[in-house]
Amino acid sequence: MEEARNNQTGASPSIDLSANAPIELPKLLLASSSPRRSEILRLVGWPFEKVAAEVDESLNENELPAQYVERLALAKAQDAASRNVNGLIVAADTTVVIDEMILAKPVDSEDAHRMLRTLQGRWHQVLTGVALVSAQDARVAHELTDVRFAAMTDQEIAWYVSTGEPNDKAGAYAIQGLGARFIQEIKGDYFNVMGLPVRLLYELALGRR
């Protein structure tokens, strides 16, 4: 299991960390159409605007999960930057891994059934790559959370797929939605499973990663 969070080079944004000064969060340009990532930033009071980003999310040959999510996160942020967007751009990519196999978004309901049958009653890992890019800096890292699914009956799987919630979710479930009833235990960052690890983002913004 990969536990390292790999950083790329660059100086951090200038932020006053003196003992008595409040830490002001830098405004972010979120290169993501995910409503979940927007929800997380609003929840923690992080100012942001959304910007467009488009990348090919195909997996490269022999690419490890951590390499995959970090590469896509950085590619999304760089794509937004290439559109002449000025500011501090954040992008993220999340995937689910079980038995060293990546479970991306299901292509159809049959694929969602397959993923849920694979996950039910077992532990798996959720990895999210996070990239922060500005004109002076580029840094990227990833977070890993272990998640244990409860055992699911065929009826439960069929019902959950029929709700449509699994359709655009890595691993075919949403921990913050209807899928929460099937999550038995997690070890690590809950927000990472939602799609944006807040603590990791905070440390990247402060130059601690």
Q: Is position 134 within any domain?
A: yes
For residue 87, the 8-state DSSP code is S
pLDDT digits (tens, 9 = 90+) for 64-112: 999 999 999 999 999 999 887 789 999 999 999 999 899 989 999 999 9
Q: What is the pLDDT of residue 59?
A: 87
Q: Which of 13-27, 47-61, 109-123 has the lowest mean pLDDT?
A: 13-27
Residue at 12 is within a domain? no
Q: What is residue 72's predicted lDDT score, i.e. its pLDDT?
A: 97
Task: Report pLDDT for 50.
Answer: 95
Task: Give the residue numbers spanning the domain of 185.
Answer: 28-205
Least confident of 21-30, 83-92, 175-184: 21-30
Q: What's residue 169's pLDDT?
A: 92
The residue from 93, 108, 111, 154 that is catalytic is 93
pLDDT of residue 209: 75
- Is residue 53 scored above 80 in pLDDT? yes
Give the pLDDT confidence score for residue 84 in this predicted structure: 75
123-137 average pLDDT score: 95
Residue % of the chain over a pLDDT of 90: 76
Q: Do 146 and 187 form a contact (C-beta atoms < 8 A)?
A: yes
Return mean pLDDT, the chain: 89
pTM: 0.85
Tally the domains of the chain: 1
Q: What does the pLDDT average to over 19-29?
A: 72
pLDDT of residue 202 exceeding 60: yes
Is 14 among the domain residues?
no
Let me know: does 158 contact 194? Beta carbons within 8 Å.
Answer: no
Residue 5 predicted with pLDDT over 80:
no
| pLDDT given at position 207 | 84
Helices (H), the chain: 35-43, 65-82, 109-119, 154-162, 190-194, 198-205
91 closest CA partner among 136, 41, 45? 41
Q: Is residue 177 part of a domain?
A: yes
**pLDDT given for residue 7 in this prediction:** 42
11 is a domain residue = no
Query: Would you say residue 6 lies in a domain?
Result: no
Phi, psi at residue 51, to the nearest 5°? Answer: -135, 160
CATH number for 58: 3.90.950.10
In a domain, 62, yes or no: yes
Q: Is 93 a catalytic residue?
A: yes
Tell me if 145 sits within 8 A of 199, measured CB to CB: no
Residue at 21 is within a domain: no
CB-count burial class (<10 Å; 0-12, 13-18, 19+) for 208 = exposed
How many other CB atoms are found less than 10 A from the CB of residue 125? Answer: 20
Task: Name which of 1, 5, 11 is nearest 136 in CA terms.
Answer: 11
Nearest to 112 by CA among 66, 165, 148, 39: 165
C-alpha 5/C-alpha 155 separation (Å) is: 39
